[in-house]
Chain A
Amino acid sequence: METITFLIEHANYWAAVVLLMIGLYILTTRGNLIKKVVGLNIFQSAVFLLYISMGYVDGGSAPIVKEGIEVYSNPLPHVLILTAIVVGVATSSLALALIVRIREAYGTIEEDEIIELDQP
């Protein structure tokens, strides 16, 4: 019983861990460069979730000042992660731009074919 409550109470962390692993798995096993970018996005989203759920205070309301509310959630992790999301968007767009150039130069976006084309 104790184990089950432990698992349920930390559901947000489990979600982050599972997503993090899915992202890493895609990054290491898929040869398609677009799929790698998708994997990278899942990987980063896991961290976004970790930060956002971390800011929740038990019984706290949304951090908007209102009469009659005493406990607020911590808004700082949310603000931080907004910055990290912007960084993630920039990374994805740069990665996609690179993929366009790779496709122009090699005619493929499959990693094994690219490695083969580079063999002298």
Chain B
Amino acid sequence: MGGGGGGSDSVKLGFVLPFSGTYSFLGESIVNGVKLRLDQQLDGEIDGRTVEYVRQDTGADPSTGASITQEFLQSENVDFIVGPVSSAVAGAMKPEIAGTGSAIWLNANAGNYKLVQDNCTKYHFRTSFNTWQTSAPLASFVKNNVSDNVVLSYANYTFGQQSKNLFREEFESIGGTVVSEIGAPLGTSDYSSFLQEIENSGADAVFSFFAGSDAVNYIKQFSSFGLNETMTQTGSGFLLSADTLQAQGKAALGMYSLLHYTPTKQSDRNQEFVDAYSGQFDATPNVYACQGYDSGLAAEMAVKEAGGTDADTMVDSLSGKELDSPRGYFKFRSSTHDPIMDMDIRQVVEANEGVRNEVVETLSKVEGPTWGCSL
């Protein structure tokens, strides 16, 4: 199969995302972001071609993700695959997409750096981030502004392990000390005894990776046991992102995190996006919505530049190109097709209703390693 979509006059996007269960909120946010760009702002057309969508629910199951991808590629003839949320699902999808070579994969959330490290494929464009970007660059900020010793706490699965390992490498390379590390099973609901181990470590700061309900449980309990009075909590941005922050509430005050999108970021481009998004969906955009929106931008650019939907031509029209992303600077790195982008260090502060993240420093054009990938 060469390129070619559903018809010569259409562009077909396949959403391989969770639409049920815990991650459905993330899936819906990504879809909203894509549709904001393609349906609302472009009236459902790219370069005179009608935009069509197909969607199926992956849950959080890699094998479901793989079979949906197969179906979308072989039976639906999609031009773009948008998704998934989970890195494990992405790992299962990659061989299918690389093997078929008939569609562009806009990876709208899965950050696993190994997607690039092991047999990187040119069809994979990350409209999201990689694990290195959301962990390692925080190290120098922590070392210079917070503490030269940390304890690491993380959800014990691939993503959590990668985040704490990458942070650890960077932190130690600039002379910081990692006192100890504590992994908690994914989906732990009571962190109290893990918190005791964290407290006993005697470190002055904590770097963590937790996400979703784990992040809420961890942060709430961290503060209820008073650890926030003696230690400074820092972490990958998903620890304190817009989708969990309201549930974490005042327990999260003063904590630092690193992420590529912050809805409260002061820039005209972002304000325009926030206004458009909240006007359409009656909600503040979160990082997932931004990743979806950027996927929409990427699809638009690919089709326009390529003058069609041939996958190989579209690869060339995206590689090394910049997107006008609400997050700030964004460029698909030619060697990996990962983004080179601005990263925000944020601190949780009080707001009118509850709390919000405030950008304290923006690290510009963060690249990170290429892991031996040279496309």
Does A pair with B? no
Task: Give B contacts to A, CB under 8 Å.
Answer: none
